[in-house]
Amino acid sequence: MPHNREDSARIDLDSNGTRLSLSGRNGAVVALTAADGSRRVVPAAEAFTLQLLDGNGNPTRLASSDFAFAHDGTCLEWRHASGLRVRMEVTAADGEFRFRPSVWGIPAGMLLEWFDGPQICIASDRILYWPFWDGCEVTDFRKRRERYRPAEYSPRYVEAMTSLYPGFCQMQFLAAYRDGEGVYFSAVDDRHTPKGVDWEIMDDSTVRLSLQTFCGDLTDGAWRPAFHYSLRPYAGGWMEACEIYRDWIRTLPGFERPPARPEWMRDSPVNLIYPVRGEGLDHSPRDMKPNRYFPYVNAMPAVEKYGRLLDSRIMALVMHWEGTAPWAPPYVWPPLGGETELAKFRDALHGRGDLLGVYCSGTAWTQISCILPRYSLEQRFEDEHLGRHMMRGPKGEITAAICNHIDHGQRLGYDMCLAEEWPVQTIEEEVGKMARFGIDYCQFFDQNLGGGWLLCYAKHHSHPPIPGAWATDAMSALQRRLVASAGSRGMTLGCEAAAATPYVPNLFYNDSRPMIDMFYGRPVHGLAFVFHEWSCNFSGNQCGIFGCDPFWRWHYSFHNGDMLSLILGDNDGLVAAWCHPWSEEFPEQEALVSLVKRLNDFRKEYPSFLLEGRMIRPFARCESRPAQVGYAIWGAEGAVDTTEVLTSFWENAEGERIGFASNWRREPSDLTVTYPDGREETHRLAPLETIVLTSGEMP
Ligand SMILES: [Zn+2]
């Protein structure tokens, strides 16, 4: 049993030598002391914040200090003059502290929108693991350009994309550490209630970790979540934190065994990604004439060329093929030029043992295309009153969050509500056409980052007026329907960026986007570490990476356990990323192609690790010289710390372990490997060389 000690200023809970201290004045977390005596958090000013909405959708934000505080042991309670009550039951077990909140007495005419507590603050000299866009390590909190805002309904791209789980953030925990002294803060929420998983720089320069939770799931007018938040000290960095999360994942339905993968994944086909219209950047009105890869069969020489050079099956993964307009969802069918043209290409690919994949553009609704302005559904939208099926903000406002801008977007439109029947039926029909046609892979949920969707507050919809777990349930149900029908016809579905936790069992082959994390910190393999045994993604179209050493990126993808891709430009040649104008052909094509071949040969040789295996902590210490890699992504430029040699370590279902080490530079690099028994090896890696490291142990 935990020991509770109270004095006038503090409420202490002890467990296994670990102590949590709460303020006796307002219940805020003031200390978390590990068994070794080290402090893992700094005092927070507040126990929680929450937000109410009035009948017009106007917000009122309250903090714990706006309430009168009392406590009965470790059951904390706050009373507000309005009658609003908040309770937090805090318990301790096995060195972990659990917080279970409830909120009731919500004033008449008001809605409880979100609750953000307990509030956990760390010192700014910590490193933060943030499960954002496939895994980000934040080493300098000042690097973030925009100010923290709670997750909210927003037409503005950056604000809408930041932090929402399950979506842009794919896991519901944060971890902070330095010199192996870590703190792990998670929501143990098996219904995956939408949350902002984010962090905020406070006035005193400390950093607050936030699991801002939407409260649409009420019982008898009260918010009483069935889950708790967990806080614990741990030893290690991002990998050890991901292990804690992975141990919890194993207890969830859908993760009892890996998904049934299509046979072709075992052959590790390389994706050849390209548009059939335009020549690169596609924002705003521009010449979108069919390019050299249309009619579709015109791409066959490129498919054959790279199939031969890579000694690999190829998946032709096509963009801008939609017969409507490029990236003008939800309608994509029939394909540009008609089914017959695409069928010729499909049959030519399948005749060689290659595969056909397509990008789509997610669950938005297009009023007009900004790329091909003649494509308009405005009249139909009006005639059929389709606005009633669209997502709405708290004030009933209607907009869309992604790619939705006349100058630098692809379309103007809205986002469809996926808890409403009409959008679900529309999507099901569109996906059904592609599956029946014989497409092998459909990235239908491109622009639904992490396979998620955004926040709907529509009062006239059948769901509650505040986002809640109902929203995750709706997306999961839609995905299950699509996967059941498409899967029976052999079509695999995917999304942009790795799938968020609840969607991994449905979407297990997705377009990895770790480089976006360079905006905020450095990419680390967090998502792959947790989910690789269930989900093998691919190095995607590298959207918007205008500068960042391709050889570093392709090695990073290999060590992320991803399948590999090349992005086709003009003349059957390559560009370094999607959006690059085709006039900027990548100069070191031969080196890149032979690198992808060598890396893919490892994938084919070691599928039990690199397709189906689990990423593990290193079984040997690997040291190489520090290095930096520069980047330029959508107007942001800089460099992130890396090492001359990149490594990853894997375990297969038989318990065998293996490691890979790659020199991503075009000069030799030295690697020192020290095994637990003290044995030390030094390797000189040739430019772009990868070596295999064995554990030296029998399983
Ligand atoms: Zn809705």
Centre of ligand 1 from the C-alpha of residue 455, in Å:
8
CB atoms within 10 A of CB 59: 13
Contact (CB, 8 A) for 117 and 44: no
Please give the pLDDT value at position 283: 72
Helix axes 339-351, 300-310, angle to 10 degrees: 20
Apex 617 CA angle, 144 and 182, nearest 5 = 50
Apex 322 CA angle, 289 and 452, nearest 5 = 130
Say if strands 195-201 and 522-523 run parallel, antiparallel, or are unpaired.
unpaired
Please give the pLDDT value at position 157: 61
Centre of ligand 1 from the C-alpha of residue 467, in Å:
9
Place of tokens 């943030």: 130
- Whether the per-residue pLDDT at 4 is higher than 60: the answer is no
Q: Taking the alpha carbons of 243, 245, 250, 251 in that order, is the dihedral positive or negative? A: positive
Cβ contacts of residue 219 below 8 Å, gap of 6+? none
**Which range, of 243-257, 350-364, 404-418, 670-684, averages the lowest pLDDT?**
404-418
For residues 112-132, average pLDDT = 98
Centre of ligand 1 from the C-alpha of residue 499, in Å:
22
Cα distance between residue 453 and residue 148, in whole Å: 20
Quote the DSSP letter at residue 445.
E
Please give the pLDDT value at position 634: 81
Cα distance between residue 616 and residue 621, in whole Å: 13
Q: Torsion angle of alpha carbons 543, 547, 550, 555, nearest 10°?
A: -80
Centre of ligand 1 from the C-alpha of residue 420, in Å:
6
Centre of ligand 1 from the C-alpha of residue 393, in Å:
9
Centre of ligand 1 from the C-alpha of residue 436, in Å:
29
Instruction: Count CA within 13 A, CB hemisphere, residue 382.
Output: 5
CB atoms within 10 A of CB 680: 12
**Which range, of 80-89, 147-156, 351-360, 548-557, averages the lowest pLDDT?**
147-156
**Which range, of 147-151, 606-610, 626-630, averages the lowest pLDDT?**
147-151
For residues 215-221, average pLDDT = 96
Centre of ligand 1 from the C-alpha of residue 29, in Å:
36
Centre of ligand 1 from the C-alpha of residue 398, in Å:
11
Cα distance between residue 517 and residue 497, in whole Å: 11
Cβ contacts of residue 165 below 8 Å, gap of 6+? 131, 171, 172, 192, 194, 195, 196, 197, 452, 500, 501
> Tokens representing 487?
């899967």
Please give the pLDDT value at position 8: 59
Rg (C-alpha) for the chain, rounded Å, is 25
Per-residue pLDDT tens for 549-585?
A: 999 999 999 999 999 999 999 999 999 999 888 988 8
- Whether the per-residue pLDDT at 3 is higher than 70: the answer is no
Please give the pLDDT value at position 585: 86
Please give the pLDDT value at position 6: 46
Contact (CB, 8 A) for 662 and 645: yes
For residue 506, which of 517, 519, 495, 518 has the smallest C-alpha distance? 495
Centre of ligand 1 from the C-alpha of residue 391, in Å:
5
For residues 144-151, average pLDDT = 88
- Whether the per-residue pLDDT at 1 is higher than 50: the answer is no
Per-residue pLDDT tens for 306-316?
A: 999 999 999 99
For residues 432-447, average pLDDT = 98
Please give the pLDDT value at position 635: 81
Per-residue pLDDT tens for 612-653?
A: 999 999 999 999 999 999 999 888 899 999 999 999 999 999
Please give the pLDDT value at position 401: 82
DSSP secondary structure string for all residues of 96-115 = EEEEEEEEE-PPTT-EEEEE
Centre of ligand 1 from the C-alpha of residue 474, in Å:
10
Quote the DSSP letter at residue 177.
E
Centre of ligand 1 from the C-alpha of residue 376, in Å:
23
Centre of ligand 1 from the C-alpha of residue 479, in Å:
17
**3-class secondary structure, 423:** helix
For residues 93-102, average pLDDT = 96
Distance of CA 652 to the CA centre of its chain: 24
Cα distance between residue 12 and residue 6, in whole Å: 6
Quote the DSSP letter at residue 357.
E
**How far apart are the two ends of the chain, measured CA to CA in Å?**
39
Per-residue pLDDT tens for 473-512?
A: 999 999 999 999 998 999 999 999 999 999 999 999 999 9
Helices assigned H by DSSP within 331-397: 339-351, 378-383
Cα distance between residue 118 and residue 581, in whole Å: 48
Indicate the residue type of 101.
P
Beta bridge partners, 680, equal: 674
Centre of ligand 1 from the C-alpha of residue 226, in Å:
23
For residues 209-229, average pLDDT = 97
Per-residue pLDDT tens for 13-57?
A: 999 999 999 999 999 999 999 999 999 999 999 999 999 999 999
- Whether the per-residue pLDDT at 188 is higher than 50: the answer is yes
Contact (CB, 8 A) for 500 and 165: yes
Please give the pLDDT value at position 543: 87
Centre of ligand 1 from the C-alpha of residue 477, in Å:
15
Contact (CB, 8 A) for 63 and 49: yes
Which protein residues have their CB within 5 A of the ion that is ligand 1?
Answer: 417, 456, 458, 461
Cα distance between residue 249 and residue 15, in whole Å: 24
Please give the pLDDT value at position 699: 38
Please give the pLDDT value at position 562: 98
- Mean pLDDT, the chain, integer: 94
Centre of ligand 1 from the C-alpha of residue 501, in Å:
22
DSSP secondary structure string for all residues of 538-580 = EE---TTEEEE-HHHHHHHHHHTT-B-EEEE-GGG-EESSTTS
Please give the pLDDT value at position 5: 47
For residue 442, which of 495, 480, 385 has the smallest C-alpha distance? 495
Label residues 105-134 b or e (16+ Cβ within 10 Å = b): ebeeeebbbbbbbbbbbbebebbbbbbbbb
Say if strands 690-694 and 657-663 run parallel, antiparallel, or are unpaired.
antiparallel
Centre of ligand 1 from the C-alpha of residue 191, in Å:
18
Centre of ligand 1 from the C-alpha of residue 484, in Å:
24
Element (H, E) at 599: helix 589-605
Cβ contacts of residue 587 below 8 Å, gap of 6+? none
Cα distance between residue 648 and residue 668, in whole Å: 19
Please give the pLDDT value at position 160: 58
Beta bridge partners, 442, equal: 358, 493
Q: What long-range pairs does 262-266 form, CB within 8 A, spacing at least 24?
A: 262/440, 262/490, 262/492, 264/313, 264/315, 264/355, 264/440, 265/509, 265/536, 265/563, 265/611, 266/607, 266/611
Indicate the residue type of 480.
R
Centre of ligand 1 from the C-alpha of residue 322, in Å:
27
Cβ contacts of residue 391 below 8 Å, gap of 6+? 153, 398, 414, 415, 416, 417, 453, 454, 455, 456, 458
Please give the pLDDT value at position 284: 63
Centre of ligand 1 from the C-alpha of residue 655, in Å:
46
**3-class secondary structure, 519:** helix
Q: What percent of the chain has a predicted confidence (pLDDT) above 70?
A: 97
Please give the pLDDT value at position 252: 98
